[in-house]
Amino acid sequence: MKNFLHTKSRLKQKLRDRELSIGSWLSIPHQSIVEILSSAGFEWLTIDIEHSAIDLQTVQNLIGHIQANDMEALVRVSKNDEVIIKRVMDAGANGVIIPMVKNAGEAEQAVSWVKYPPNGTRGVGLSRAQHYGTGFNEYNKWVNEEAVIIAQIEHIEGVRNLSEILDVDGIDGIIVGPYDLSASMNKPGMFYDEDVKEVLAEIDRITLEKSKSLGFHVIESDHMKLLEKIDKKYNFLAFSIDFFFLGDKAREQMGMIKSKI
């Protein structure tokens, strides 16, 4: 079995150096979707198990397909929870995105649940990540040096505590969840509201001052929206979602056909 896990993470290095890295979001749990997105040149895919029906057995299969197509596999876990973080890491994920991180204590918990003692509190099991028992020592070294841990900032309380969150050892950067962030301000989806824009600007300012990787999930399948974030010095960018790439193109082309018949 070829081992995709015990190698240097290109994404981790880019996060350290604040270099641009573009990935996408996976909610349709099929090998074909992974292979199609890999042909577009994404560097990583995030398997979303917070807002999808994807189960853990499917997560492991998707991780394998993502890595086999020369991308890194992240999992946006369902919550900041010891068991789910441990299980997706045991399945071989390159890293995790932790939703709804509101303070430094929650960020510290997430890091602890990714890493084994003495660097964390993760329980030890043998599965795909540990090469089914033949590579635990190598994996233990890998997880301390190469595992990616991203805090998702999607609540106004997380913005208020952002400086302390960014100071947590082991947090590689943040990614803004724009829908939940605006919802926490009682303005769901109102990204161009002045209050929401002011909060987003505050996130940018604090993260850049801390010289940490700044991420955003650009929901629209419009490259111009992504370029706007690059111009604002975002470097960890999730570009749209599998179903938007599929649906937007289908609706666009069918709309053009219907306009001519």
155 labelled catalytic: no
Enumerate the domain spans of the chain: 10-258
Question: What per-residue confidence (pLDDT) applies to 111?
Answer: 98
Q: What's the maximum distance between 2 C-alpha atoms anywhere in the chain?
A: 68
Residue 192 burial class via C-beta count within 10 angstroms: exposed 0-12, middle 13-18, buried 19 and up: exposed
Q: Are 3 and 26 in contact (CB under 8 A)?
A: no
Question: What per-residue confidence (pLDDT) applies to 199?
Answer: 96
User: In the CATH scheme, what is the homologous superfamily, with its name and number, of domain 10-258?
Assistant: Phosphoenolpyruvate-binding domains (3.20.20.60)
* Mean pLDDT split into 10-residue runs, the chain, 261 residues: 68 97 98 97 98 96 96 98 98 97 98 98 96 94 96 98 98 95 94 93 97 96 97 97 96 94 89
Question: What per-residue confidence (pLDDT) applies to 3?
Answer: 58
Question: Which one of the listed residues 6, 30, 51, 65 is annotated catalytic?
Answer: 51
